[in-house]
Chain A
């Protein structure tokens, strides 16, 4: 019984949190108060539901409790005539024809406002949009809970005192603002896909939160090609998540993975979203990355990988997004197409790239090409270099095994 209640609360938490907080933030004009009241509504659900049963409409029940709590607090504050830092809300509801009149979108765009640092944006999004506790957000970014609490407080204070408005951006800045949001979602996804440190390779909880965010954005902005493409990229990438680690916890490369473990449903959804994005305009950064992931997903086996297509896609991606990490991936794909010696040549110019100086995958990629060429001692020192830069336990074990097998 109590397990069923806990599950009902957890489900309501995942489904209703963002909507609840977003509406309360708009109606009270106070983000911190909204957060507190929504938190308390869920706490009282845990107390009341086991006694009175799960309400027929959990969302409505939670809204009522949170709203009453907020009204009490606002009355109390009014009695004391305390001055409050308030959210700048529109007051009047914006014109519905822009299709962006949704409180959850206001909340997301406020959390991901470009006047906040990216780490603050990601932390606020996980806390306020996804409803993670401060402790959970702290663990996601590998900082202590007091540090994360201070970061969140500072960000909320900036929203209030600098008057970051609680609204969806106007059409002329929508594209820019959407890309800031997508970068935050992608950051949460990547953090879950390969945890920067710790025992597990994949943090499924973070992957799921990032996918939830992507689906919500797609629901609310169905005509944005970038939103569709980014969701496609996440689905096509996370489809492989369960196959990336063997039952005994070893890291498995793409070439070693059991492709029957790949999530066919996610691949299908991802491909459909990619097609949708490509129909809307020339491919952007996320569409090209999704196309690369789709190319891997559609190869029946490692040997059937179309490296010509993948190199060509990386070429196009590099034109659009000339980042050193894209250059590294392009060089690796080139090595797969033309052999380890060509791969090594393609990696060579990246060795002096400052942005990659502490990037473990550069050393790991070099090590692998050197190993294939039989250059044992050079390969060994490259694996050692990669080990120094890697904090994820599963990746470290993989590198140590490779080093030992030389």
Chain B
């Protein structure tokens, strides 16, 4: 068994523009994912929109600098994640295929194995 992080990326403007009916279908798909994954979901969260992010990094004078916005200033950003247990990449891919974000043109799901420190 290994852990994988499913990182849901997409265009927040497109998510904001979704109608209540579209959200209903979207939520139903996430519920179906939860049903299929069951106890394999270790944790999950939907994140507030990337523009709300605050980024902390080293400044040139050795101090810390807070900036408004996400680390990567791209049109698409991280919208949420699932941390799941799976036997292998094929199994986790099959689960991830249930997420609605893999169907929309502006979004996708990145599958990252989690380092196992034993």
The interface of chain A, by Cβ under 8 A from chain B, is 83, 88, 113, 115, 161-165, 169
Contact = CB atoms under 8 A, between A and B. Distances in A.
Interface in B61-101: 87-90, 93
Contact of B87 (A88, A161, A169): A88
Contacts of A83: 118
A163 B118 contact: no
Interface residues of B, number: 9
A238 B93 CA distance: 38
A401 B113 CA distance: 56
8 smallest A-B Cβ distances: which pairs?
Answer: A165-B88, A163-B88, A88-B88, A162-B89, A164-B89, A162-B113, A163-B89, A165-B90
A21 B115 CA distance: 28
Interface of B: 2, 87-90, 93, 111, 113, 118
23 contacts: A83-B118, A88-B87, A88-B88, A113-B89, A115-B89, A115-B93, A161-B113, A162-B89, A162-B111, A162-B113, A163-B2, A163-B87, A163-B88, A163-B89, A163-B113, A164-B88, A164-B89, A164-B90, A165-B87, A165-B88, A165-B89, A165-B90, A169-B90
A222 B113 CA distance: 36
Contacts of B90: 164-165, 169
Give the one of A88, A162, A165 with max B CB within 10 A.
A162
Dominant secondary structure of chain A at its interface with chain B: loop
Contacts of A163: 2, 87-89, 113
Nearest to B116: A83
A51 B88 CA distance: 46
Given A162-B111, A163-B113, A165-B87, 16 more contacts: A83-B118, A88-B87, A113-B89, A115-B89, A115-B93, A162-B89, A162-B113, A163-B87, A163-B89, A164-B88, A164-B89, A164-B90, A165-B88, A165-B89, A165-B90, A169-B90
A161 B89 CA distance: 10
Contacts of A113: 89
A164 B93 CA distance: 11
B82 to A, nearest CB: 16
A169 B113 CA distance: 21
Give the one of B88, B93, B118 with max A CB within 10 A.
B88
Contacts of B87: 88, 163, 165
Nearest to A115: B89
A192 B90 CA distance: 32
B106 to A, nearest CB: 22
B37 to A, nearest CB: 17
Contacts of B111: 162
A108 to B, nearest CB: 15
A169 B94 CA distance: 12
B1 to A, nearest CB: 10
A165 B90 CA distance: 7
A186 B95 CA distance: 31
A169 B91 CA distance: 11
B104 to A, nearest CB: 21
A162 B2 CA distance: 9
Contacts of B93: 115
A65 B103 CA distance: 50
Contacts of B118: 83
A169 B89 CA distance: 12
Contacts of A88: 87-88
Give the one of A163, A164, A165 with max B CB within 10 A.
A163
Contacts of A115: 89, 93
A329 to B, nearest CB: 31
Contacts of A165: 87-90
Nearest to A161: B113
A318 to B, nearest CB: 26
